[in-house]
Structure 1
Amino acid sequence: MRKTIALSMILTLLASFVLPVQAAMIGTGEMLHQQSMVNERVKLAAFLDRDEVKQQLVSMGVSPDQVKSRVASMTDQEVSEINHKMEAMPAGGDVLGIVVLIFIVFVITDVIGATDIFPFIKPVR
């Protein structure tokens, strides 16, 4: 009987603790921005999946798997910048220019130590 009473008292005490919960409305602007960034990443991924782009990156010593992982870790600003530069190029434009831009972004991230794609680049510590 004592065990039952003690157990019910403990359960009552535990049930009385309420953890604070916080909820907030998500604005339309924020939702549109998030969806826009998803679209930007999909657009960049589609570009990088093109055969001629893959060939250029492989010729520079970057594997497609490294490209995918690096693009996944890019900031929204970096993805937007690359996409805007692609849109500014003429139709059927220079794929090499975008590949070089992506290569430069990879080199910069290696130099600052965010990635380790190229073994010949020593990060600044």
Structure 2
Amino acid sequence: MAKTAKKATKPATKQPAKKAAAKKAAPKKAAAKKATGKTGSGLSTPVTPSAELASVVGNKAMPRTSIIKKIWDYIKEHDLQDKQNRRMINADSKLKPVFDGKNQISMFELAKVVNKHVQ
């Protein structure tokens, strides 16, 4: 029997895959910011403090968040947090009218008390 010669086959060469033209997405533009000085709504609406509250935070109209921050700055500056229960705030002569005559309130009541003293 005659031997049949095997054809030498070349291993299949892989052609480099054509990369799809990847289009880069245009960067998204940031949302336009509101112009400063506009009045917001809710917590960012400037409110005017009462005379009692103005003695602590000043008499300029400002957002409630700023009023609370200034009260906390005053509390920390004058060391008015209770030593045993840090959740309680002791009143001094300026804060007692704001706290409706109470000697001490909870920090959770602070926003409620401030709400009574703003317009």
Q: What range describes the TM-score normalised by the shorter chain of this pair?
A: 0.3 to 0.5
Larger-Rg structure: 2
Could you state the TM-score of these two structures normalised by the residue count of structure 2?
0.34
Could you state the TM-score of these two structures normalised by the residue count of structure 1?
0.33
Which structure carries more helix by proportion? 1
